[in-house]
Amino acid sequence: MKHYLNLDAIPNLETAIEEIIDLKNDPYSLEHLGQNKILGMLFFNPSLRTRLSTQKAAHHMGLKTMVMNFSNEAWALEFENGTKMSGLRSEHIKEAAAVVSQYCDIIAIRAFASLSKKEKDEEEQVLNNFVRYASIPIINMESATAHPLQALADAVTIKEHGFTKKSKIVLTWAPHPKALPHAVGNSFVKMVQKIDADFVITQPKGYELNSEITKDTPVIYNQEEALIGADFVYTKNWCSYNDYGKILKTDQEWMMTSEKMKLTNDAKFMHCLPIRRNIVAADDVLDHSNSLVIEQANNRTYAAQWVLKQLLENG
């Protein structure tokens, strides 16, 4: 593995899940791999889980970490070539990526979608320019279109909770007061397509994800119908993809409730966090013993650790 930009970097997801569970059982077993090496973590957006779990993963691997909030601590970056830099952007990505490459052995980057220009977001300007101009491996800590560390942790969590190829997994849209990106939904869809489950997406009309990602995954517009017999219910908001960045529906009828969970096969409830209580899911869903949200966050550490292992071994 040269970089970890999306789930396609994983040669065999089932093997990766097994190896992540082994790391979870013995997290310091590869502490020697990262000795005298540094992971640089660049945040263009906020984080709780990604920041702390990736740092913890690095520490398990013997790596030291350097963290920088690029949104307010670094010089504003210019990404266009040939620009006369007379505006607010003080540093070009060419120099920034080359300089950070000298200080670190791996760079991890978080840079969300703007949700204003679809084409720009899909270019993955920040991530791909670091790949282009840095000389070391890059990890995606959530970009405009993908959150592959989250999806890898989710795959492990599902496996730990009795997943079989007969399991029914439902990805359901939920309301949210802010327009949120598609990254988590996209990567979750790609992950479930790889584990060969009985998989259904449910959402209001107008909230279809990118069809190049969902491919032939069935979409059911009636949430209650979709939930019947589910073994895993993954709840997530995203804004409209076709009417890019727009919120089309804000009412609460799509919130996950304990009444709706009764339609399932005693399903496990999943969400990547952070979650707005009693907007996305009701208190009693989140506080129920079937909620896996804290375990998902825990597995972020070991998923990140596995990714670091691949990159360190390759280097």
Binding site for ligand CP (CB under 6 A): 47-50, 142, 150, 272-274
Q: How far is the CB of 142 from ligand CP (least distance, A)?
A: 6
Q: How far is the CB of 296 from ligand CP (least distance, A)?
A: 8
Q: How far is the CB of 223 from ligand CP (least distance, A)?
A: 23
Whole-angstrom Cα distance, residue 122 to residue 143?
10
Q: Report the phi/psi class of residue 114: left, alpha or beta, with left for phi > 0 and alpha for psi in -120 to 50.
A: alpha
Nearer to ligand CP, 229 or 274 (CB): 274
Q: How far is the CB of 275 from ligand CP (least distance, A)?
A: 9
Nearer to ligand CP, 13 or 297 (CB): 297
Nearer to ligand CP, 65 or 150 (CB): 150
Nearer to ligand CP, 168 or 190 (CB): 190
Q: Please name which of 231, 227, 232, 291 lies closest in space to residue 263, comparing C-alpha atoms.
A: 227
Nearer to ligand CP, 133 or 234 (CB): 234
Nearer to ligand CP, 54 or 129 (CB): 54
Q: How far is the CB of 86 from ligand CP (least distance, A)?
A: 35
Nearer to ligand CP, 153 or 170 (CB): 153
Whole-angstrom Cα distance, residue 239 to residue 123?
18
Nearer to ligand CP, 50 or 101 (CB): 50
DSSP string, the chain: ---BSSGGG-S-HHHHHHHHHHHHHSTTTTGGGGTT-EEEEEESS--SHHHHHHHHHHHHTT-EEEEEETTTTSPPEE-STT----SS--EEHHHHHHHHHHH-SEEEEE----SS-HHHHHHTHHHHHHHHH-SS-EEESS-SS--HHHHHHHHHHHHHTT--TT-EEEEEE---SS---SHHHHHHHHHHHHHT-EEEEE--TT-PPPHHHHTT--EES-HHHHHTT-SEEEEE----TTTTT------GGGSB-HHHHTTSSSPEEE--S---BTTTB-HHHHTSTTB-HHHHHHHHHHHHHHHHHHHHHH-
Q: How far is the CB of 274 from ligand CP (least distance, A)?
A: 6
Q: How far is the CB of 282 from ligand CP (least distance, A)?
A: 20
Q: How far is the CB of 221 from ligand CP (least distance, A)?
A: 27
Which single residue brings its beta carbon nearest to ligand CP?
Answer: 50
